């Protein structure tokens, strides 16, 4: 394997690792900011408040942006 092919391989692996990390952060934001408040409100008798709804919407948007960023990073892979 020549140096150029090895550099491409290493660069691709670094990009995949970065995309995996960013996507994992998106999953974590979704789990903590979206799923947790929904589950918590289902177990309580009081309603889902406005602040919690706003936080959930914000976290859902953040998770989507992180997932989209991860897919954009993967577009930088070299053949």
- Tens-place pLDDT, residues 14-47: 999 999 999 999 999 999 999 988 888 877 766 6
- Confidence band, pLDDT 50/70/90 cuts, at residue 52: confident
pTM of this structure: 0.86
Position 5 pLDDT exceeds 90: yes
Give which of 37, 31, 64 is closest to 53, Cα–Cα: 37
Average pLDDT in the chain: 92
Q: What are phi and psi of 47, to 5 degrees?
A: -80, 170
CA atoms within 13 A on the CB side of 18: 15
Give which of 1, 31, 27, 16 is closest to 77, Cα–Cα: 16
């Amino acid at each position: 394997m020549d140096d150029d092919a090895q550099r491409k391989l290493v660069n691709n692996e670094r990009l995949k690792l970065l995309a995996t990390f960013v996507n994992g952060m998106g999953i974590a934001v979704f789990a903590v900011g979206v799923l947790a408040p929904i589950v918590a409100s289902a177990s309580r008798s009081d309603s889902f408040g406005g602040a919690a709804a706003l936080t959930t919407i914000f976290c859902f948007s953040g998770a989507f942006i992180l997932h989209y960023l991860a897919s954009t990073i993967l577009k930088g892979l070299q053949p």
